[in-house]
Structure formats: C-alpha cells, structure tokens
Amino acid sequence: MRWSVCDDTRVTLSALDRRIIALALPALGTLAIEPLYILVDTAIVGRLGTAKLAGLAIAGTVLLTITALLGFMQYGVTPEVAHARGSGDGERARVVANDALWLAVLLGVPVAVTVALLARPLARLLGATGGVLDAATTYLSISAIGLPFVFITLVGHGVMRGHNDLRKPLLIVLAANVANVVIEIVVVYGFKMGIAGSAWSTVVVQVLAAGAFATILGPHLARVRPAWQRIKPFLVIGGHLGLRSAAMLVVWITVTRVAAHVDTPTLAAHQVLFQLFSFLALILDALAIPAQSLVAGAMGGLDAGSAMAVGWSSAKLSLYVGGGLCVLVGATSPFVPHIFTGDGAVISRVTAGLLFLAVIQIPGAVAFALDGALIGGQDGKFLGRAAVFNLVAYAPFLIATLVHPALGIGGLWGGQLAWMTLRAVVNARRFKSKRWMPAVALTG
C-alpha cells in the first residue's frame, strides 16, 4: 500500500497522517517508563530538600544512562519484528521477540548487581559529595534492583510496537504510573522513608509492570532456546545503536558533571530541567515510534515510496507538536519551577533554562521524527557515526562553561540547543538522500 504525504495543498491530515497519530497517541503512554517515574520522584523528593534533589539528579543520570545504553533491546527489536511481518514471515518475528526477551534477562541481572555494588563510586564520579553523595547512593543502590524488570519492559514495548499494537502497553504503563504516585506519596510522606521510600516504590511498580508485559508477550514468542548465531546479529545492531546512545549520553552526563562543578543550586535546577526535557521528549518520540514500525514494514515489503512518505509525514506532524510545546513551555516558564522547589536560587535558574528548553522543541521535532524513520530503515550504523559527529556542536559550550562557571544554565542548555539543531540537519540530509535504503527497495 502506498501513501501520499498529503492529499492536497491545504493544511489537512492525510490517511497516513491519521494512521501515525492513531499509533502515536498510545505510543506516548508506552514511552513513559523510567523518565516519568523519575519525574514524579523529582517532584516528591524536591520537597525533601535541595541536597536530596541534587542526589536524585546524580542517581537519575546513572539510571537513565544504563537504560539508554541498553535501549537497543527496544529500538532494535521493533524494526526486526516489523520487517519480518512486512515480508510475511511471522515465525521469524516470534523468534526475534523470544531472543530479545532472553537477552533482557541475561544482561539485566549482572548489570543490576554491578550498579548496586558500585553505587557510591558512580555517584562520586559524577561529582556528588557530602549529603548529595549519601542521597544519590541510597537511591541508586535500591533502584538497581528494578533494572532487570525495566529491561523486560523495554523488550515488551519493542515487540508490541513491531506489531503496531500499542493499546495493551498503554494500559500497563498508565496503571504503573498511577500506582507509583500513590505508593510513593504514602511511603515517602506517610511512612517517613524519605528518598529511600521513593526508590523502593518505583522498584515495586517496575516489577509489576514487567510481569504484565511478560503476560501479553506470550502469543508473540517462539518456543525455542536462545542461540548465539541468532543473538549475535542482534548484538551487532545493538552495538551501532549503543554507540548512538553513548554519544548522546556524553552530552547528558557531562552537563550533569559540569552543573555539579558550578554549584548545588545549578545542579538541582539542571535535574528539574533534564527531567522536563525527558518528559517532553516522550511527546515528540511518540511520533517517531510509528515511523519505526511503518518504515520497517514498508522496507520488508520493498516499498520505498511508502517508507519515504511515512518519514516526511512523521516529521511534519512532529513539527506541529514541537511548535505547540515551544509556546507552552515559554509561556509557563515563570510558574513551572515552583512545582518542584521553593529554593529561590534554584527557581531563577530553572526559569532561565526553560526558555532554552522551549526553543529546543523545534529542532528536536525534526531530529526525533527522522531518528525513528532511520531506525525503521535499519540505518543504525550511520546513526551511530552521526551521533559522535554531532558532539562538535555541544563541545564548545561545555568547555566555555567549565572555564567560566558564571555561564551556568545558559551555557549548558545553550549547548544542548546547538547539539539538537545539528542532529536535525544531519538526519534530514540523510533521510532525503535515500542512501539508507537497500538497492533492491529502490528498484522494487
């Protein structure tokens, strides 16, 4: 089936636009796992004091680093499953899902043990000291228990996206996040468990969510043992996507480290800004998720025209949403900081940072949408190399802020704006070139 990017020259929604939106709405819920958990933690822990909030910033950075580096289990399995379905090979789709689930378990347990044992050194490595170090260590050592269950959940998302079935994951995620809010409020404030209670409540919910995903994956799994010859190509794909994630994480980790170097209020403000960035990214990424599965399905059927139409339609819709978010974040910047903290120094820094965050939504819309299209086109090798190249836009801002700490939030988040803009330009040029398509699809 071939789609046109739009029906005519009017600002209307084509059938393809509507299909992407129909998939994007439940995708928004399925994306809200670790970032939304930590955003809730940020709002609750923020009321426990600036040191606790700064400690959460350190621990949250470590946890998001780990889940991002191993995110290939999610982003790798989606196009593999969708491509197999597009080519009519249902059994291969089930085998891929089975192998991905085994990989989540085999990697999850040793990673969890390692993080728990190294919680304090990892927090110290990111610049935590004193009360901030104690808070970060407590949160991180407890949260490590939930990591294997997070990986199972990531695979569950990836498989269901490959089948374009996002309603069941949406119900699971909504239930999990509501439960997280309720349990956390009771444990932190009712039982007076502080930041430890925040971490434990999140772990409990992660276990329950993983169990629910394991249940709905049943019909989509082959009953075969994992085999190295099947898992090895998946790890190669994961290596490319892992390089992409690692390069992006350089930005997020170094900005946290430099924020800690500036002062504690800047680090606490960065925690708020980063969690808001992560939350808003979910909205834009929701439009990239349909691009992953629909482009992969089109490539499985050797339909280059449909693949291009999906990518451009996703980018167009994402720009509409990004523009709206830009206006919303800018307009609410004087009020939002008060939700997270009562510290005047932190509030002033968050307010300034929100203006950068608002503008970031525009290039972010293009970068995210075409990331999804290129992942669906299994162009992970290029995305990995491009992610490393994109660091040239951020590095000067990082160095300048390190040398002149007075630049503070403006220097750090100005750098992220430059980085996101370069990502958008590079992705757009690659997608338009069609060099990511196999020759057989271009001639098919």
- Pair 257, 126: CB distance under 8 Å: yes
Which tens digits make up the pLDDT trace of 421-437? 999 999 999 999 999 98
Residue 2 inside a domain? The answer is: no
Residue 376 lies in a domain: yes
Q: How confident is the model at residue 5 (pLDDT cuts 50, 70, 90)?
A: very low
C-alpha–C-alpha distance, residues 328 and 354, integer Å: 10
Residue range 79-125, pLDDT digits in tens: 889 988 888 888 989 998 999 999 898 899 999 999 999 999 999 98
In a domain, 225, yes or no: yes
In a domain, residue 259? The reply is yes
336-363: pLDDT as tens digits: 999 888 888 899 999 999 999 999 999 9
How many domains does the structure of the chain reveal? 1
Q: Is residue 7 part of a domain?
A: no
Distance, CA of 31 to CA of 36 (rounded, Å): 9
In a domain, 217, yes or no: yes
pLDDT, position 32: 61
pLDDT at 31 over 60: yes
Residue 157 is assigned to a structural domain of this protein = yes
- Residue 5 in domain: no
Domain extent at residue 435: 15-443
pTM: 0.77
CA–CA distances in Å: residue 240 to residues 44, 378, 402 = 37, 10, 30
Average pLDDT of every residue of the chain: 87
181/176 Cα distance (integer angstroms)? 9
